[in-house]
Structures are given as structure tokens and as C-alpha cells.
A and B are shown apart, each in its own frame.
Chain A
């Protein structure tokens, strides 16, 4: 089930707004399912300013490398260090295994992201 409390991109990132106003970013169940076992995660450095849609990370799986795109413009304020040692968390629990947090600079971008229902259609269209 695609969680209703998150927002999504058509490049398969999920975005969760935290209590402090920053946004956690990870990849969806569908994305990790397509990639297979994740073996390596490269996160952006903290302090980097990113534009929406900019490449800012890489996930390497047993099968392929996938770029991770910034779902929002803003500053990277944190990365999930746990994934360096345990990249498999992305497969085990994709909606808990956040990669990095952004302090968004434009709230309108957040409103423009997909909701769960719209994202499910994107994912379903890709499957076949």
C-alpha cells in the first residue's frame, strides 16, 4: 500500500513533511522492487543547495544504478547515515528508510507533488 500521508514524484521518490518543516526523501516500494537488492547508497552532502529535479544521489542495486532527484528545491540539512552500513533497509522498509532531508524553499513545490493515488497510476503504467 502506498502511504496516504506522503507525497510522490514521477521519478519514484517519496516526500514526508516533518514536524520541523523539513522534508524527508526516500524511494518508493515500486522503485526498490524494480531495482532489486540495494547494495550502496550515495547521498548528497549536507549544506548543498539543490533545485527541484536535480540529481542529488545514487542508489546502486545488484542490478543497476539509479539516480535520485531532488523532489523540491532547498538545502540538504541531513542524511541518513544508517544506509551506509545497511542499504538493505531500503528494500526492507522503503517508507521508513529516508535518504536525506531538505529544507524546502518554496512551499508551492510541495503542493505540486503527486498524492498516493496519482503515484500508483504512474507506477502501474510502468509495470507493463
Chain B
């Protein structure tokens, strides 16, 4: 099953810890280590960790780095006003379609790091390089396959991380959300993809196994991509390739807040977005009937048809939730129907996130 797949430096450790492996974007990755539901609950209520070393850190540095990123990213990189700050942004094509979504960190003045999705990494690198050539920007673009990335997430994640790695406490104790600290070659960022507090740690591949093991010894539960998906869905966070792609603009996938149209800055995709009149929007759906919504199921609403982009079972809410692309004028709390296995079941439109910091935020 894992023939021909790429492996992260933790591959053997995952197998040793009982992981069931799946192909994710060409990588053999753990989907769970026994029970996805338990892993989900650990992250919501305590602390869990994910190997996300399949994602690629890309360093962008040079005298032209800031201007270059201001051109290729839709969010305003000037908001990174000092080293250590992080920003969520989309990278768009000329049509305003989403090439990728990513977090960009300022490491030093003129030195940035973007962490991009595994499935888009090669395409992103080619795009960035083409943009560099076209603009003549004085930048160096450095893919960092030598790094591993571990996300430690949950209400007790930071505390357990500090107990397990006391040498990293001092530098990371004061971090606010979306801030990162550096300790040698290790970067600790207070970011994540679960709707819980925690860190994402980037470190040399050779050091990741020791960190993973010591975290496990201190009660941080290994969690797979299955739990990562239900956690991010509950948190109302988009998954690239599923809730958005090159044919969808940020305005149609709930990411208008990440697009900077206020400053006069000219970025790739801006003019297309300014001309756009999005007829669709991304919303949350709670299924009222029994069943489980899945991606690509059809939706009927009083304002027209729609489609589930991500669906599943919410362990926190004990019912099925989804993200769906629907007509742009659909009212909030609209009653709608989802076609599940040939039957039309009742659902309700809601505004994501469904769950943050262990609490359900939507009215069922």
C-alpha cells in the first residue's frame, strides 16, 4: 500500500506506534493509531500531536523578499511588522483562483518562511520561481526538505510540550497567537489547524524522532490525518483541494478576510477579484437527520443548488457537519436538503466555526 510513497522522518516510528498508513498526496502518512475518535477527543480535551512533515517549509530571503511576497500573496505581508510574526494567506493565480493557502512567518527583516501544503508543494515552487523570474526580484527561494514539522495541539499541549522539552520553554512561553520563536534551528510557532491552542514545531529532520518520543512519554497522544481532518472541519478551516482550488476565489470559500483589497498594493489575482461578483459562498451545514455528509454530495436550498465540499462526523457535536458551497444569497439558518445515498435529508445552514477551544459555537 505504501509502495512508491514518500515517507517523513517519523515513518518507522509511526509503524512502531501502530499507525494505519494511507496515501496522502503521495506521502505514506498515519490516518490513525487505532481510534480516530479517541485521537480527536485527546486534542479537544487534552493534548495530541501530528506529524505534518509532508508539508513543505519554503524560505524566501533577500533584499527583494518583502516586495516579492507582497506581489505573490493575497494577504498583506506588511502586517508582519517584526520577526516572529505569522500570517495566514492565499496565493492566487491571475484569475483570482487559489493556488494554495499557507502560513508565512517573518524570521528576520528580509527573511521569511512559508509553509505550504504537501499536495501543492512542487506546483508552488514552480510558480514562485516563475514569479521570481518574471519580476526580476532579488530573492532566494529555498525549499527546506531538511526540516520536519510536528503540530502539538490541545488545551494542555503547551504545558505538556514544556514539560517534555524544558529547554524550549523560555523562548516560547511568551508567544501570542500567530507568533513564532527560534531556538537554534528549531522554530516554535503558536499556530495550528485544530481550533485548539498549541504549537507547530519545525526542526531538523534528524531531531524529530527524539522530540516525538519524549512528547509521547509525557502524554501527548499521537494523532493521524483522520483526526486532523475532523478537528479542522469542526474548527471551520478549509482544506486545500477540497474546499478550494485554482477554480475558486477566496471570496467563494470564506476567505475574503484574508484578502487585502484595502491597501493599494498590487498582488497577483487582485484585479480579477475586484471584477468578481461571487455568486457562491462557503457555509457550514449541520445535518438534522441521522446520516453522515460527505464531500461532493448535492444540496438543495430555496435559492438554488449547492455542493458539500467537506463533510463528516463531528465527534464533539455527535452529529454530521459539513462545509458547503451554496448560492451567495442564501440566508443564515436556512433549511436545506442534502442528498445522501439517494435520500434527501434535512440540514441547516450555520456560520463556521462549529467548535473552538473545546466549545460548540453553533446552535444545533
Binding site for B on A (CB under 8 A): 36-37, 39-40, 42, 58, 60, 62-65, 88, 91, 128
Question: B341 — which chain A residues lie within 8 A by C-beta?
Answer: 58, 65
Chain B interface extent, by class: 10 to 19
Bound-complex Cα distance A63 to B224 (A): 12
Q: Would you call B313 and A62 a contact (CB within 8 A)?
A: yes
Known A36-B226, A128-B1; contact A65-B292, beta-carbon cutoff 8 A: yes
- Cβ-Cβ contact count across A and B, 8 Å cutoff: 38
Q: Would you call A63 and B290 a contact (CB within 8 A)?
A: no
Binding site for A on B (CB under 8 A): 1, 20, 31-32, 35-37, 226, 230, 290-292, 294, 312-313, 341
A62 contact from B37, B290, B291, Cβ within 8 A: B37
Residue ID in chain B nearest A36 by CB atoms: B36
Q: Would you call A39 and B290 a contact (CB within 8 A)?
A: no
Q: Would you call B1 and A63 a contact (CB within 8 A)?
A: no
Nearest 9 Cβ contacts at the A-B interface: A60-B292, A39-B313, A37-B37, A62-B36, A37-B36, A36-B36, A37-B35, A62-B313, A40-B292
Q: Would you call B291 and A63 a contact (CB within 8 A)?
A: no
Bound-complex Cα distance A78 to B35 (A): 30
Report the minimal beta-carbon distance from A40 to chain B, rounded to whole angstroms.
6
Bound-complex Cα distance A1 to B20 (A): 19
Q: Would you call A42 and B290 a contact (CB within 8 A)?
A: yes
Report the minimal beta-carbon distance from A84 to chain B, rounded to whole angstroms.
8
Q: Would you call A62 and B226 a contact (CB within 8 A)?
A: yes
Q: Would you call B313 and A40 a contact (CB within 8 A)?
A: yes
Q: Would you call B312 and A62 a contact (CB within 8 A)?
A: yes
